[in-house]
Amino acid sequence: MERYQIRGGAALEGRVRIPAAKNSVLPLMAAALLTDGETRLEGVPRLADVVTGCKLLEQLGAGVSWEGEDLTIREPETWDPEIPASLAGAMRGSVFYLAPVLARTGRVTLPMPGGCNLGPRQIDIHLEGLCKMGAQLHWHGGKMTLLAPHGLRGMEFTLRLPSVGATETLIMAAATARGNTLLRGVACEPEIRDLAAFLNRCGASIRGAGGPVIQVEGKETLKGRSWRPIPDRIAAATYAGAAAVAGGRVTLENCPMEETRLFLEMLEQQGCRVSRGEKEIEIFSPGTLKGGAELVARAYPGFPTDMLPLAGAVLLKSRGYSRLTDTLFQNRFACAGGFRAMGAKVTSRPGGILIQGGLPLRGAPVEAPDLRGGAALLLAALGAEGTTLLSDRGHISRGYPDLPGSLAALGADISPFPAP
Ligand code: EPU
């Protein structure tokens, strides 16, 4: 258990560089297995999910090495297509290994993937699509095994909802399948464009990624290449939100502009000033916010679900009423209890929360319920009077290399707190 002591009230000042996107890096690490030779991913943050991904690659037989922030992945000489429960259960991103391992070895075994408890997180679309490509699915003792001894074949498939993970699974499976694949109703998130662009660089033929229809012409082999993953839009929103709550002036370097637009516009509506440069953004917050907001998280290009709890932390400080709704995950607002413990007026309702903002927040003992909910509690603590003790069972470090340390470098009063 990690524990942090946060004394609210310190304004933030300075610059922070946005790292590569966790949700791009994780599928890219798995996709490297589709390629012959070596893949080099540049500028990768060593967050806990990436470390789990490295262990998973090694378990499967791949070589993994770091040189500074660059991660090299070497194709396995011998494969072990069995993923242990300890690694599968440590992160949702373990599901990305289904397609590449199946494509390369004709077999993969995976216990149910873990990750944040945001409500039911099914993987039926991943499995349905892979079965349509010729895989046979067997369940035994809580594990799934997929077999495709004669390889995967191209197909036409319409996703019943635009799942980000299932879109990524099926792009990876189709990249080296026999024949052509047509995917309809896919997710359009920027991380999907990044995955398709990387695979194309390795020799794949994937068209339409970023839109609702993707066409893939299967290729027999792909060759490992170097790739720099896109910057993390959720990390950018986290630092922008921290500046808004705490007050002060923070510059985000390497900020993805279009992908953070909706969050930054929300901050402007609350009274923050946002200056947009070519590759960096400066956020100035007067510390007092007003307006309230109505936000509904939807699939891209809608308001991102992962930014919703962060927006909630900002709107606790904004004089006015806010209504936040998530259409993707039922349990997105597990952090609402922590907000209330800090004195906020937050009412839970089906699909979301109502906030009566602008009331004083006071420090309290709280626990991170999940990754983004934990980051949201950290942000709220920056704007609270007195001291917050935040306990975290490893959720926040799964998604940020060192969020408390980076906020402290900007002037926040945060320090590790020894266990009792
Ligand atoms: N769904 C199904 N069946 C499936 C797949 C998904 O019913 O086969 C449902 C899920 O139950 C959920 C909804 O579809 O209600 C959306 O799930 P999706 O598959 O789009 O999300 P994901 O791939 O599991 C990724 C990110 C999440 C992010 C979502 C939405 C990774 C590793 N995770 O999850 O990121 O919230 O897309 O954008 O890429 C985070 O970073 O904190 C995080 C949770």
Average pLDDT over residues 323-333: 95
Percent of the chain whose pLDDT exceeds 70? 100
| Of 22, 163, 167, 306, best ligand 1 pocket probe by most atoms within 8 Å of the beta carbon | 163
pLDDT at 115 over 90: no
pLDDT tier at 360 (50, 70, 90 boundaries)?
Answer: very high
Q: Is 418 helix (H, G, I), strand (E, B) or coil?
A: coil
Which residue ranges does the chain devote to CATH 3.65.10.10? 2-19+231-416, 22-227
Cα 262 to Cα 80: distance, rounded to the nearest angstrom: 43
For ligand 1, atom 1, the nearest C-alpha belongs to 122
The pLDDT of residue 156 is above 80 = yes
Q: Tell me the average pLDDT across 121-146.
A: 95
| Residue 52 CB–ligand 1 contact under 6 Å | no
Q: Is 188 in the pocket of ligand 1 (CB under 6 A)?
A: no
CA-nearest residue, atom 23 of ligand 1: 165
68 C-beta closer than 6 A to ligand 1:
no
pLDDT tens column, 1-37 = 999 999 999 999 999 999 999 999 999 999 999 999 9
Ligand 1 contacts CB of residue 398 (under 6 A): no
pLDDT at 420: 67
Tens-digit pLDDT profile for residues 197-218: 999 999 999 999 999 999 999 9
- Tell me, what's the pLDDT at 24? 98
* Mean pLDDT (whole number) for 40-59: 97
User: Looking at residue 25, what is its pLDDT?
Assistant: 98
Percentages helix, strand, coil for the chain (3-state, rounded to 5) are 35, 30, 35
Measured in Å, residue 118 CA sits from the centre of ligand 1 at 9
> Taking 70 as the threshold, does the pLDDT of residue 176 lie above it?
yes
- pLDDT grade for 300, boundaries at 50, 70 and 90: very high
Identify the H or E element spanning 261.
Answer: helix 261-269
CATH number assigned to the domain with residue range 22-227, chosen from the 4 options 3.50.50.60, 3.90.950.10, 3.40.640.10, 3.65.10.10: 3.65.10.10
Q: Which atom of ligand 1 is nearest the CA belonging to 328?
A: 15
- For residue 66, pLDDT beyond 80: yes
The whole-angstrom separation of Cα 144 and Cα 39 is 28
Q: Which of 137, 172, 328, 396 maximizes ligand 1 atoms within 8 Å of its Cβ, making it the mutation to test the pocket?
A: 328
pLDDT of residue 385: 97
pLDDT of residue 120: 76
The finding on whether 318 has its CB within 6 A of some atom of ligand 1 is: no
110 or 117: which leads in pLDDT: 110
With 90 as the cut, is the pLDDT of residue 121 above it?
no
DSSP H helices, 70-109, are: 85-88, 98-105
Which of 92, 124, 131, 164 to mutate for ligand 1's pocket (most ligand atoms within 8 Å of CB)? 164
Cα within 13 Å of Cα(374), Cβ side: 26
Q: Which of 106-120, 254-268, 365-379, 396-410 is predicted least confidently?
A: 106-120
Residue 226 Cβ contacting ligand 1 at under 6 Å:
no
Q: State the Cα–Cα distance between residues 185 and 123, nearest whole angstrom.
A: 16
Whole-angstrom distance, CA of residue 404 vs CA of residue 184: 41
Q: Which residues touch 420 (CB under 8 Å, ≥6 apart)?
A: none
The residue type found at 58 is E
Say which CATH topology domain 2-19+231-416 has. UDP-n-acetylglucosamine1-carboxyvinyl-transferase; Chain (3.65.10)
Q: Is 60 exposed, middle or buried (0-12, 13-18, 19+ CB in 10 A)?
A: buried
CB atoms closer than 10 angstroms to residue 274: 20
Encode pLDDT of 266-282 as tens digits: 999 999 999 999 889 99
To the nearest whole percent, how much of the chain has pLDDT over 90? 93
Query: How confident is the model at residue 417, as a pLDDT?
Result: 84
Is the CB of 141 inside a 6 Å radius of any atom of ligand 1? Answer: no
pLDDT at 109: 97
Single out the catalytic residue among 116, 202, 272, 335. 116
pLDDT band at 74 (very low <50, low <70, confident <90, very high): very high
The model's confidence at residue 86, banded by pLDDT at 50, 70 and 90, is very high
250 pLDDT more than 80: yes
Distance between CA atoms of 352 and 12, rounded to whole angstroms?
29
Cβ neighbours for 122, distance < 8 A, ≥ 6 positions apart: none
Q: What is the mean pLDDT of the chain?
A: 96
Query: E strands of 204-247, at which residues?
Result: 205-207, 213-217, 222-223, 226-227
SS3 category, 311: helix
Pocket lining: 399 vs ligand 1, CB cutoff 6 Å:
yes
301, pLDDT greater than 80: yes
Q: CB of 294 within 8 A of CB of 287?
A: no
- Catalytic, 116? Answer yes
Higher-pLDDT residue of 192 and 114 is: 192
